[in-house]
Amino acid sequence: MTNQTNVKLRLNNSELWGGVIGLALGGFVIWSGMKLKLGTINDPGSGYVLFYTGILMCVFAGAIIVSAVTEGGPTLASRWENVRWSKPLLLIACLVAFSVALEPLGFLLSSIPLMLLLLRLIDPVRWTLAIPIAVLVPSGMWWALKRLLLIQLPSGLFGIG
């Protein structure tokens, strides 16, 4: 790894950020454990294990931070070097849009556009193949689940499905 991609005390050191997030999570778990009551060692309460797990999380996150500061680590940008970073981003956007649309639109009206987007946006499949797959696969699955396994998928505000 070059000096450009392996940095020590810089804010773009990805290892440092991983450790900081771990430390924050650990702090939150300790606080939650204390709020739930620790109990005693003879009779541990609901927060007992959470509290000590939180402490362990802080210790391990601390070790990650120390190693990031002393040994350095790859920069955040280098983690996405030489890859098509926009593709997973597009996929994430499609999934988030799908999760927002699922309840109001129902399974069929949300999954057909999702499939079409995935087939066309990431590594485009030709339209003549993308459209039949996007329509037939979700419809076929919906039919099989509804008729054969008697599982009701979300039908949304329009009651389609």
Buried b (16+ CB within 10 A) or exposed e, 67-98: ebeeebbbbbebeeeeeeeeeeeeeeebeeeb
Spatial separation of the C-alpha atoms in residues 155 and 145, rounded to whole Å: 13
Nearer to another protein, 6 or 17 (CB): 17
Nearer to another protein, 3 or 43 (CB): 43
List of residues contacting another protein (CB under 8 A): 14-15, 17-18, 22, 25-26, 29, 32, 36, 40-50, 53-54, 56-57, 60-61, 63-64, 67, 79-80, 83-85, 87-88, 91-92, 95-96, 98-99, 102-103, 107, 111, 114-115, 118-119, 122-125, 129, 133-134, 137-138, 141, 145, 149, 151-154
Nearer to another protein, 2 or 150 (CB): 150
Residues in the chain: 161
Record the tokens describing residue 116, joined without a space: 């079409």
